[in-house]
A and B are shown apart, each in its own frame.
Chain A
């Protein structure tokens, strides 16, 4: 059968389809968006700088922001900053990576079977809401104080948000899309690759971002408890030695790291859902 062309124009108004936005306007609004989002942060930094200077806060306890920047510079120059960041990043990223490799496939599998997910979801909720840090002593007890226990606790903290969101994502795939796939006799591998996976991406990424934040929190805490390197160690050690500017330098490094990681995940997600 060949498809003959119907030349008559449909009555339907084509204007109903949204026109594409001009690239120039988009760039302009992006710039003003950046400005809007930076206002509050800049304000915070200004208060941080001037409150200790004006004597509103004792500057021994709160180093003015410029002092923190100077300390950061010194730490960077001596190579210490890189060493600490590398230690923390290695732990959190390997833990995060392992959690992704475990939780995404497992979540897809659990989410696909309704009864299995009905049974297991409360358990996942329970683990998700059991603060990973409360279990830190248990991990240290069982795995010692070395790298293994630190990475293991990051894996633990990252697994649950990823698992729960992946299960939710798979359960919430539009049922008419599943019906469509079934009506076309799509074999299971194609069904996963072409329907379930792409439909799940946004919700899975919500879990990944939560896990990313958790990975950093947990690794810092673990480093505070017992480590010879890492940003958590730097903060604790600086406070102990009353090197207050270095302590704040460590804190700033952590938040930059956290924001950076989150942004990276946002960019990857945008890439994968560019159709939006």
Chain B
């Protein structure tokens, strides 16, 4: 397997208190992600997950180490990486179709092909009949599917997803998880997915990277091997429960530590 993404000793600090001090968000991140792999990142709140994704997206630069994509250092954003945001980031004045076309316009797809491609990807997320609806006429789950279609349409090799399903109800979330897994299997994208949900992490990921509380470091990477054809409800199998418990245990200490940090910050 070829390595698609490499974090090499990556650290990121932010100036705080008017630049007099620096806050270390990430420290010494070493992580290799293979081509076509589905990696999930979990960690306590504020440990630097979004920061990590921003670095990979090229929306921020590491203060130490480097992020490599296909062996080349990431120097800025690019359409070889698609981002799906938690808050959907749909243009409210455009229809579902128009929103998917937005990404295609950015890479200069000619007008006629745009409409057709957008249509195709709306079909992929099962929203073809809602193509002419505006975001405020769509449910949360539908909005996120439009956003996914937009990111897929311009065909990036890597899909970056920052808690994309966090704002959805449990039922919608599970159906979107299934949909995402299917899309991943069909398209062979490399996916980096951030979540707070342990179930979601185990269900989606081939590998789950657990971060420590701030400053975020890689605490452990758990390989998930599940026989998905074996049971109808994979989430209720003993193996699933074992993975869930393993990650829960890894996270638990960090969450406690993160809460202590927060308390200190409040009383300071």
Contact = CB atoms under 8 A, between A and B. Distances in A.
Contacts of A16: 139, 141-142
A272 to B, nearest CB: 9
B182 A6 contact: yes
A144 interface: no
Given A1-B155, A4-B186, A17 B138 contact: yes
Given A176-B89, A185-B77, A198-B91, A3 B171 contact: no
A18 B130 CA distance: 11
A5 B123 contact: yes
Contacts of B138: 17
B142 A184 contact: no
Nearest to B120: A3
B89 A179 contact: yes
Interface stretch (A7-15, A222-230, A262-270): A7-15
A194 B105 CA distance: 10
A146 B174 CA distance: 72
B174 to A, nearest CB: 7
B5 interface: no
Contact of B172 (A12, A174, A276): A12
A6 to B, nearest CB: 6
B94 interface: yes
A177 interface: yes
A180 B175 contact: no
Interface in B69-127: 76-79, 81-83, 85, 87-89, 91-95, 102-103, 105-107, 120-121, 123-126
A67 B22 CA distance: 76
Contact of B124 (A5, A177, A273): A5
B152 interface: yes
Interface in A176-191: 176-177, 179-180, 182-186, 190
B57 interface: yes
A275 interface: yes
B183 to A, nearest CB: 8
A273 B93 contact: yes
B179 interface: yes
A17 B81 CA distance: 30
Interface residues of B, number: 52
User: What bracket does the count of chain A residues touching chain B fall in?
Assistant: 20 to 34
Most buried by B among A8, A184, A186, A194: A184
A10 B89 contact: no
B124 A6 contact: yes
A195 interface: yes
B139 A12 contact: yes
Interface in A1-43: 1-6, 8-13, 16-18, 20
18 contacts: A1-B155, A2-B120, A3-B123, A4-B124, A5-B123, A9-B126, A10-B126, A10-B176, A10-B179, A12-B176, A13-B139, A20-B137, A176-B85, A185-B106, A194-B105, A195-B91, A273-B93, A275-B95
Shortest Cβ-Cβ A-B pairs, 3 listed: A16-B139, A184-B106, A11-B175
Interface of A: 1-6, 8-13, 16-18, 20, 174, 176-177, 179-180, 182-186, 190, 194-195, 198-199, 273, 275-276
Given A20-B137, A180-B89, 9 more contacts: A4-B186, A6-B126, A17-B137, A176-B85, A176-B89, A179-B59, A185-B79, A190-B105, A273-B93
